[in-house]
Amino acid sequence: MTKQLPALFREKMIDLLGENEFEQFLKSYDQPRTFGLRVNTVKVEKADFLAKSPFALSAVPWASEGFYYEEGERPGKHPYYHAGLYYIQEPSAMAPVELLQVRPGERVLDLCAAPGGKSTQIAAKLQSEGVLVVNDIHSDRVKALVKNLELLGVRNAIVLNEKPERMLKVFQGYFDKILIDAPCSGEGMFRKEEEMMHQWERHSVQEFASMQRELLGQAAQMLAPGGMIVYSTCTFSPEENEAQIAEFLDKHPAFDVVPVEGFGAGRPDWLRAPWCEEEFSDRAREAVAGTARLWPHRLRGEGHFVAVLRRDGATVEGDAGSAGDARDAGRAADVVSASGKRSGREALRKGRAETSTRAAVSLEPLEAFSVELLRSEPFAAERLVCYGEHAYASPAGLPELHGLKVVRPGWYIGSLHRGRFEPSHALAMGLRMREAKRALSLASRDERALRYLKGETLEVAESEIIRDPEVTKAAKGYCLVCIEDHPVGWGKWHDGMLKNEYPPGWRWT
């Protein structure tokens, strides 16, 4: 393994680390990589998952819901994976979101989000309260992002496929927290994915550095006063790490570094030729010592860099006249949604939803479905929005998204077509079992659990359909299929048989 490292990379790391530490660093490439999963507390309490985990787990010290599992285990091949109970995530990659200190109710942006490892981690910290905007510039990668958010039952995410510069007008000064998990040269991933070495040889560090500079500047404009940005990469190069932060601090005096403890320190001494040609202020040089370096030879994880940046509470970025407008507009929308713009509850009561074209869509079939199937109103507080035939529950407090490439304006509820409502798979995955009036809960060891995930029709006795006879007498019709009380999809029960509604693209193969 070690001899395959690109020669230029080896030379650079010797220069940065010195011969002694480089030897230790090099040895880490002969160690097996680490494997991690993160319990998805949107769906399951950590203690409940640990009590029934089929895998031997040990805690990742820096991530409250993160665990190592042993090589040879296959958590991606377990019904719990299909129930969204965890996300398979490299342990070091769990650090940036932990450091972002997300609280329920906040407005959070994940600017470079696909395939969604960190977005789903943010969603768990939000506990379905607040607004999560996730974005990625590459449309093919956004598909995986949407799927992961749906799998993990995230209800309050808006998915964009945008160039960040086009988001500035809409979101100026709007977010409490922003994560920039920047595109980078990926040097920290050489052990995990050998292909990264070939990519490294094809792209220059400078190419990534200029993208990162832009992303940091754009994020600063979308951050509210007093807000926080976490900037992370999975690379070692100072040009993409300390130099980015030092340059940012010199351009943005309202920001400071919040020192990170518990990892290797950032290296002001690497702000020098040939890695950086620029001169930085003493303030910036000192501050970068508070950034964090995760080294594969010093901890159980791959190589990462993380910087936590806080803006002071007074200053706003960019055009002083309009900064903060999006935040105020969002606040106004909260107020308006109680009267003018319709919350889910109101929309259902009035039988009409807002649409992208402003033409009202009849919600009667959705209302009938809700009355029949849903115990509570899980999207009562959100705005119901229709894009064509598709209904979404959009978190309250969003500015208008007109002009942006919106892939998901919120939780996808289902489609309304010719007087019929068809519930989406995302609706099933975002519900709790207790929110459905008709459900089936299979044990993970029940051979029908696997057969359901493979798309097969199941034999299910009427007595197995869980329902409150006071509320729903009939077993016939849509039923929320769960594995040990955790929803995995829809089925339609009739006369001892459950017709499978598990989407073909999601099936167990």
Going by the annotation, the residues of the binding site for S-adenosyl-L-methionine are 112-118, 136, 181
Among 304, 396, 305, smallest CA distance to 344 is for 396
- 405 touches 460 (CB < 8 A): no
> Using CB under 6 A, which of 91, 117, 266, 410 touches ligand SAM?
117
DSSP letters, 75-142, are GGGSHHHHTT-EEE--GGGGHHHHHHT--TT-EEEESS-TT-HHHHHHHHHHTT-SEEEEE-S-HHHH
Nearest approach in angstroms of CB 428 to ligand SAM is 24
Q: Is 187 in the site for ligand SAM (CB under 6 A)?
A: no
In the complex with ligand SAM, the residue whose CB is nearer, 167 or 431, is: 167
**Residue 89 CB, nearest approach to ligand SAM (Å):** 7
Task: Name the residue nearer to ligand SAM (CB basis): 112 or 158.
Answer: 112
> Please, what is the minimum distance in Å from the beta carbon of residue 135 to ligand SAM?
6
3-state SS of 408-420?
ECCEEEEEEECCE
User: Binding-site residues, please?
Assistant: 112-118, 136, 181
Which residue in 57, 114, 126, 442 binds ligand SAM (CB under 6 A)? 114
Range in contact with ligand SAM (rule: CB under 6 A) among 62-70, 115-123, 197-205, 282-290: 115-123
Q: Which is nearer to ligand SAM, 140 or 277 (CB)?
A: 140
- Determine the Cα–Cα distance for residues 283 and 247; give it in Å rounded to an integer: 11
Question: Looking at residue 452, what DSSP letter applies?
Answer: H
- Shortest distance, CB of residue 111 to ligand SAM, whole angstroms? 6
Question: 3-state DSSP call for residue 187?
Answer: helix
CA distance to 34, 118, 237, 295, 456, per residue, from 31 (Å): 9, 26, 22, 13, 42
Closest residue to ligand SAM, based on beta-carbon distance = 112
Q: Is 361 in the site for ligand SAM (CB under 6 A)?
A: no
The smaller minimum CB distance to ligand SAM, of residues 111 and 404, is found at 111
Catalytic-labelled residue, pool 184, 234, 276, 482: 234
CA 421, 426, 429, 435 torsion: positive or negative? negative
CA 12 from chain centre, in angstroms, equals 33
Q: Is 242 in the site for ligand SAM (CB under 6 A)?
A: no
Q: How far apart, in whole angstroms, are the C-alpha atoms of residue 153 and residue 120? A: 9
Size of the site for ligand SAM (CB under 6 A): 19
The residue range among 69-77, 100-108, 113-121, 417-425 that interacts with ligand SAM, by the rule CB under 6 A, is: 113-121
Smallest distance from ligand SAM to CB 117, Å: 3
118 binds ligand SAM (CB under 6 A): yes
Q: In what order do the strands lie in the sheet with 390-394?
A: 361-362, 352-355, 383-387, 390-394, 411-417, 420-423
Where residue 462 falls (left for φ over 0; alpha for ψ -120 to 50; beta otherwise) is: alpha
**Residue among 183, 290, 409, 430 that touches ligand SAM (CB under 6 A):** 183
DSSP, collapsed to helix, strand or coil, labels residue 67 as: strand
Q: Chain centroid to CA 122: how far?
A: 6
Return d(Cα 15, Cα 121) in angstroms, integer.
Answer: 36
If binding is defined by CB under 6 A, does position 168 make contact with ligand SAM?
no
Using only the alpha carbons of the chain, give its radius of gyration.
24
Which one of residues 66, 75, 84, 116 is an interface residue with ligand SAM (CB under 6 A)?
Answer: 116
154 binds ligand SAM (CB under 6 A): no
Query: What CA–CA distance (Å, rounded) separates 441 from 274?
Result: 61
Q: Which stretch binds ligand SAM (CB under 6 A): 112-120, 300-308, 371-379, 440-448?
A: 112-120
| Between 58 and 210, CB nearer to ligand SAM | 210
- 465/486 Cα distance (integer angstroms): 15
* Residue 124: CB minimum distance to ligand SAM, A: 13
* Contact status: 166 vs ligand SAM (CB under 6 A): no
> Which residues have C-beta within 8 Å of that of residue 340, sequence separation ≥ 6?
none
Q: Nearer to ligand SAM by C-beta: 118 or 125?
A: 118
For residue 181, state whether it binds ligand SAM (rule: CB under 6 A): yes
Q: Does 180 bind ligand SAM (CB under 6 A)?
A: no
Chain residues 190-219 in contact with ligand SAM, contact rule CB under 6 A? 211, 215
Instruction: Write phi, then psi, for 312 (nearest 5 degrees).
Output: -70, 165
- Closest to ligand SAM by CB, 87 vs 270, is 87
Q: Whole-angstrom Cα distance, residue 147 to residue 187?
A: 27
Q: Supply the DSSP symbol for 406.
A: E
- The reply to whether 234 belongs to the active site is yes
Residue 36 found at the interface with ligand SAM (CB under 6 A): no
Smallest gap from Cβ 443 to ligand SAM, in A, equals: 32
Least distance CB 183 / ligand SAM (angstroms): 4
End-to-end CA distance of the chain: 32
Contact call for residue 348 and ligand SAM (CB under 6 A): no
Considering the complex, what minimum distance in angstroms separates the CB of residue 211 from ligand SAM? 6
Site string for ligand SAM, 128-147 (x = CB under 6 A): -------xxxx--x------
- Identify residues 52-111 at the interface with ligand SAM (CB under 6 A): 93, 111
Name 21's bridge partners.
Answer: none
Q: Which residues bind ligand SAM (CB under 6 A)?
A: 93, 111-118, 135-138, 141, 164, 181, 183, 211, 215
Q: Which amino acids are annotated catalytic?
A: 234
